[in-house]
Amino acid sequence: MEYFKTITQSGLSELIISTKKILYLSLPSIHYEIARAICSLAYMADRESREVEIHILVDFDSNTFRQGYGNFDTVNDLIKGEFDVKCLKDNRISFIISDNVGYYLFIESRSLIPADKETINAIKIDPVSIVRLKHYFFPVINGSAVQDELANAIIEESIQLKKSNELVEGHSAIINEIDETLLNTVKADLEKNPPLNPDFKRTVEFYSNKFQYAELHYVGQNIEHFAIQIPAKLLPYKNNELREKLITRLKLFENINKSEVFAKFKTIEELKNQISEKYLTPIKCRKGRSVLKKELKGQFESEVVDLRMKLNELRNSIYSVMSDEIESAKKNLCETMRLFLLENPNEDMVNMGIINHERMAKNISKGLTNSIRVDPAKLITKFKIDRHYADITFEDLSDSELLKEFKQKELIDVADETRLADFGKGIKMTIGVEDQLFKSLKAFKE
């Protein structure tokens, strides 16, 4: 059995499912795949009428979930499923003991490393250490039999040590030199996407969990100002000067405000503005952006969902009003065009003589307006309530102007202000230290 091993999430799942009698699992938290393997183990044992003990230890903390080590709903489902799930705060000693086989697991955040990336991340646990781990991390389960277990483990370990040559034989790790090519490749990649100092990253994460940029938009709220461009090929003049005198944009809903149905529809815009005022704080130095407190995000989302439902209820009622307005706008355009043609007859009208101007002006203007087709149904289906989010960044927290505005708008308190001031000083100090270290190394090399 390998002493140094690669165990991916799928490999860990297979090891869990292969357990016959007892499983001990210590992880920062649990992802869905691991929970599914635990449930599969319990299900198979039940079908085979055999007992399997399953004991799970996690760091049940909101920051652990935020850092990408697991999922709250997954752990919650295991607890509700009456699995033995316990909490050890701030624990990062990860291991699995499946029957008599155990591995230390060097677990990394899934935010950084994909679940099935093959990294060397497991070391086989010796028999004595298995006993010590079980009695330290699961004392309630393994409280009394420690002496007998330890004695058996020592015997087993001594048998293994007699085969000392086997312990070091086998494959060695493939070690590579850091040559100039690798050095330049890594350097170029870091210059394109520089890493953030872990201390600074924690500060950014802290405030990203407190605040978020948010935008709330209502597509369709300015319908009364909606206009369409009249295609140039429809205009009955070759003369550019006369073309410029013509109306080239048709406002479709100028009089829609007079409708009682539209008045009800207009309340959507009012409600959208009320939600924005209630939850979003506009930031002047970030044009078009507002800040949402994360603690209020659930309420914000709930009110946005309610507003979308209200919009869906009302938008069908406005079809006939919009259709009437479009017809009225086209009728007005037709009359305007007819009068304009009489005053400015086009080439065809001139050729046909003044006796035909009235009829030709009427036909031309009617043909033009009939060519303009606007389907109110297509416009209505585009009406929607939309919201967008963006995270607070390192650059944001380094911007004194932004932080000043945060303070003015009471988004941060005195403690936050002090912390962010230290953050700013830390950035300057770190940059200074890095510059000095680079100069020292360069001087040493020379």
Q: Are residues 349 and 435 in the same domain?
A: no
Q: Is 230 part of a structural domain of the chain?
A: yes
CA distances from 273 to 71, 215, 266, 388, 434 (A): 35, 11, 11, 16, 48
Residue ranges making up the domain that contains 96: 4-168
Indicate if 226 and 127 belong to the same structural domain: no
- The answer to whether position 346 is within a domain reads yes
Tens-digit pLDDT profile for residues 402-442: 888 888 888 877 677 666 765 555 444 444 434 454 545 45
Read off the amino acid at residue 169.
E
* pLDDT tens per residue across span 274-304: 999 999 999 998 888 999 998 899 999 999 9
Q: Of 115-124, 223-232, 430-439, give the lowest mean pLDDT range.
A: 430-439
Residue 234 pLDDT more than 60?
no
H helix runs in 89-216, sequence order: 127-137, 146-162, 164-168, 180-192, 198-208
Amino acid 361 reads A
Claim to verify: residue 309 and residue 412 sit in the same structural domain: no
Helix, strand or coil for residue 110? coil
pTM: 0.54
Lowest mean pLDDT among 33-42, 113-122, 256-265, 276-285: 256-265
Residue 189 lies in a domain: no
Distance, first Cα to last Cα, the chain: 50
pLDDT in tens, 340-359: 778 778 788 888 888 998 99
Query: Taking 70 as the threshold, does the pLDDT of residue 123 lie above it?
Result: yes
**What 3-state DSSP class applies to 292?**
strand
Asked if 9 and 33 touch (Cβ cutoff 8 Å), the reply is yes
- Tell me, yes or no, whether 397 and 352 share the same domain: no
Domain boundary residue, one of 375, 390, 405: 390
What is the per-residue pLDDT across 70-102, written as a single tens digit (0 to 9) for each?
889 999 999 999 999 999 999 999 999 999 899
220 and 359 housed in the same domain: yes
Whether 293 and 210 have beta carbons less than 8 Å apart is answered as yes
Same domain, 349 and 382: yes
- Is the domain of 34 the same as that of 163? yes
In tens, the pLDDT along 160-209 reads 666 656 555 556 667 777 778 878 887 788 778 766 566 666 677 777 77
Domain boundary among 351, 375, 390: 390
Residues 28 and 127 in one domain: yes
Helix ranges restricted to H, 48-106: 62-66, 72-80
> How many angstroms separate the CA atoms of 267 and 388, rounded?
22
Q: What percentage of the chain carries pLDDT values higher than 90?
A: 25
Q: Are 11 and 121 found together in one domain? A: yes
**Structure-token pair, residue 170:** 């086998």
Does any domain span residue 116?
A: yes
Which of 50-59, 241-250, 267-276, 321-330 is the most confident on average?
50-59
Per DSSP, the three-state class of 98 is strand
pLDDT in tens, 316-336: 777 777 787 778 777 877 887
- Domain annotation covers residue 196: no
**CATH code for the domain in which residue 90 is found:** 3.30.870.10
Q: Which of 390, 412, 436 is the last residue of a domain?
A: 390
Distance CA 432, CA 297 (A): 39
Mean pLDDT over all residues of the chain? 79
Are 20 and 150 found together in one domain? yes
Q: How many CA atoms lie within 13 A of 386 on its CB side?
A: 9
- Whole-number pLDDT of residue 426: 47
What is the count of structural domains for the chain? 3
Give a yes or no: residue 187 inside a domain. no
Consecutive H or E run containing 105:
strand 101-105
Whether residue 194 lies inside any domain: the answer is: no
Q: Which stretch of DSSP H or E encloses residue 54?
A: strand 53-58
C-beta separation of 201 from 267 below 8 A: no
- Indicate whether 250 and 281 sit together in one domain: yes
Residue predicted with more confidence, 192 or 250:
192
Provide the greatest CA pair distance for the chain: 121
Does a structural domain hold residue 198? no
**425 in the same domain as 371:** no
The confidence band for 17, taking pLDDT boundaries of 50, 70 and 90, is very high
Its sign, for the CA torsion 131, 136, 140, 144, is positive
